[in-house]
Amino acid sequence: MNASREGAQSIMHCQRCRSPVEEGETYDFFGQALCEDCYIYMVNPPRVCDPTAVAGAVTTRKQLGQSGTAGLTELQKHIYRTIEERGKITRDELLREVKVKPEELERQIAVLRHCELIRAFKEGDKVYLTKW
């Protein structure tokens, strides 16, 4: 048919900053297709959007004498242990490991970040989750 390059992909646009992203290279954040930079921004905002929520989560855990994975749900523990075992893991790999819906995983990641158990970072062209 045509001589297009192998794996020719259509170009999407990031729903946040509108920059062009190759299809399949976007990151899904609550149903929004984002470029990598925006995804990192959304997962790890430079400024904490709700400091009291984070402080509250940490304080509550301290009051309850909880540290590490104490007080977490089974799913949250599973996610945390998977990240701990791997050292670092991409969101897609984590999704394959824990087998939940992406939005569910996103919610749990948000909780774990609030409890300062995990964080996201960028290395090369990938976003990894790792222990805090």
Binding residues for Zn ion, rule: CB under 5 A, are 14, 16-17, 35, 38
Minimum CB separation of residue 41 from Zn ion in Å reads: 8
**Closer to Zn ion by Cβ: residue 16 or 88:** 16
Which residue from 4, 103, 121, 30 is spatially nearest to 95, judged by alpha carbons? 103
Give the shortest CB-52-to-Zn ion separation in angstroms: 28
CA neighbor of 79 nearest in space, from 115, 53, 51, 54? 115
- Burial string for 109-129 (b: 16+ CB within 10 Å, else e) reads bebbbbbebbbbeeeeeebbb
Least CB distance to Zn ion at residue 118 (A): 22
Could you tell me the smallest distance in angstroms from the CB atom of residue 104 to Zn ion? Answer: 23
Cβ proximity to Zn ion, 26 vs 76, nearer residue = 26
Smaller CB separation from Zn ion, 37 or 93? 37
Q: Which is nearer to Zn ion, 16 or 119 (by Cβ)? A: 16
Query: Would you say the C-alpha torsion 30, 19, 51, 117 has a positive or negative sign?
Result: positive
